[in-house]
Amino acid sequence: MFKTKLLTVLMLMLMCAGSAFAFKPIELGEGKYLQFFYDAQFGYTGRNTGSGVNAEDDTNEFNFRRNRIGFIGTYNEKLSFYVQTEYIEDKNVNPLYVDISDDDSKDFYLLDAQLRYTPFENVDLIAGKFKHSLTRENLEGCFNPLTLDRSFFVYAPFKTSRDKGVGARAEFFDNMVQVRGEIQEGRTGDAADGSPDPGSNLRYTGRMHLSLLDKETGYGYKGTYFGKMKVLTVGASYQYEPDAVYGDVANLADKKDYAAYSYDIFGEFPTAAGTFTLSAAYLNVSFDDAYKGTNPDANSYGQNGERDGYYVKAGYMLPFNVGPGQVQFFGRYDKFDFAKLNGYYDNSVDFIAGGVNYYIDEDKIKLTAQYSKTNFDKEVGQDTNMQDFDTFELYMQVRF
């Protein structure tokens, strides 16, 4: 289907030859250090729609999925910081559509900037810009997911992944229970852009998990532990922001709250026959039916608006190395029902994907190939951006 697949595979395999290089920490005095890092995912994406006169021909693209540089450091054993920037160029092939315009936009921005203070063992306080805790999927590191990437449908509205504010995390009962909470900025809309914010209200998030086997501790999660841990963790999260949208934007009336909740489970079980991984989650996002209003805020519907659904993903890692690295096969299925998507009410999307990871030095060097199918319950006429499509992706990851 995509003529460049074989050439792309060969090129990226050649690029993967070698070993990872790690920047060494810079000692700044007793208990103080500074360490730089560079993380990138570069590769090929091919979709069977989006180009040509009628947008029905294949679209091929090389691009960065992620391209980050940053640094971490400590002032002492209790106070540390983490800063990360992102540089991304215009992407033609996106999760649910293809944009082949000549925009060629470039964005360089501060992705994370946080101060971390540990007053007691197993207690962390965070201030700055950091990930919210609505979903486990968002908290899984984007450089060590099980599949090529996290779900396209679990992002929060407005500040989809990260936000500015304060947070706390604590672990109890020998790290079996983790509780975390955040107060963050939430929506910051401007009446000038036609999508006004009914009020400058804060967003509140809470999460708790229970680790029944080996403990998942710390700020984030991994999509796989490479057979080094036996894990079974269940979690639940809730997020709330009052007066987040208008049901009638034209008259600045009918204020609606935003609320979302999620349940998740993750298990990984190393055996003599290989390592088996299984993960699933449910997410419900509500704007109190704002989309049914007279002139609803567009943020209340669409891909990141009112919806509910789930994903299931699974992996199997071979019990032996292939060459210098580990091989892991994976698959996932996402099904989400949207209040309104592509102009249709009660529209749903089915996403199914399968592929293989090849790891060298765990996630320091990684090659991932994934083939996926995206199906809409209700399609729009001749617009191929709103019709079923297939996507092939091949990406190389490096972490320095």
**Three-class HEC string of the chain:** CCCCHHHHHHHHHHHCCCCCCCCCCEEEECCEEEEEEEEEEEEEEEEEEEECCCCCEEEEEEEEEEEEEEEEEECCCCEEEEEEEEEEECCCECCCCECCCCCCCEEEEEEEEEEEEEEECCEEEEEEEEECCCCHHHHECCCCCCCCCCCCCCCCCCCCCEEEEEEEEEEECCCCEEEEEEEECCCCCCHHHCCCCCCCCCEEEEEEEEECCCCCCCCCECCCCCCCCCEEEEEEEEEEEEEEEEEECCCCEEEEEEEEEEEEEEEEEEECCEEEEEEEEEEEEECCCHHHCCECCHHHCCCCCCEEEEEEEEEEECCCCECCEEEEEEEEEEEEEEEEECCEEEEEEEEEEEEEEEEECCCCEEEEEEEEEEEECCCCCCCHHHCCEEEEEEEEEEEC
Q: Residue 225: give its domain's CATH number.
A: 2.40.160.10
Q: Is residue 185 part of a domain?
A: yes
Q: What is the mean pLDDT of residues 300-307?
A: 94
Could you tell me what percent of the chain has a pLDDT over 90? 74
> What pLDDT shows up at residue 190?
61
Q: How confident is the model at residue 6 (pLDDT cuts 50, 70, 90)?
A: very low
Per the confidence metrics, is the pTM higher than 0.85?
A: yes
Q: Mean pLDDT, to the nearest integer, of 350-367?
A: 96
In-domain check, residue 97: no
Residue 291 has pLDDT above 70, yes or no: yes
Whether the pLDDT of residue 384 is over 70: the answer is no
**What is the domain extent for residue 318?**
5-22+46-64+119-399
- pLDDT category at 237 given cuts 50, 70, 90 is very high
Averaged pLDDT of the chain: 90
Q: With 80 as the cut, is the pLDDT of residue 8 above it?
A: no
| Structural domain includes residue 263 | yes
Check pLDDT > 50 for residue 9: no
Provide the number of structural domains found in the chain: 1
State yes or no: pLDDT of 339 exceeds 60: yes
* Structure confidence at residue 2 (pLDDT): 45
Residue 182 domain flag = yes
Residue 209 belongs to some domain of the structure: yes
Q: Give a yes or no: residue 351 inside a domain.
A: yes
Q: Does residue 390 form part of some domain?
A: yes
Mean pLDDT of 52-65: 88
309 compared with 388, residue with greater pLDDT: 309
Report the percentage of the chain scoring pLDDT > 70: 90
- The answer to whether residue 32 sits within a structural domain is no
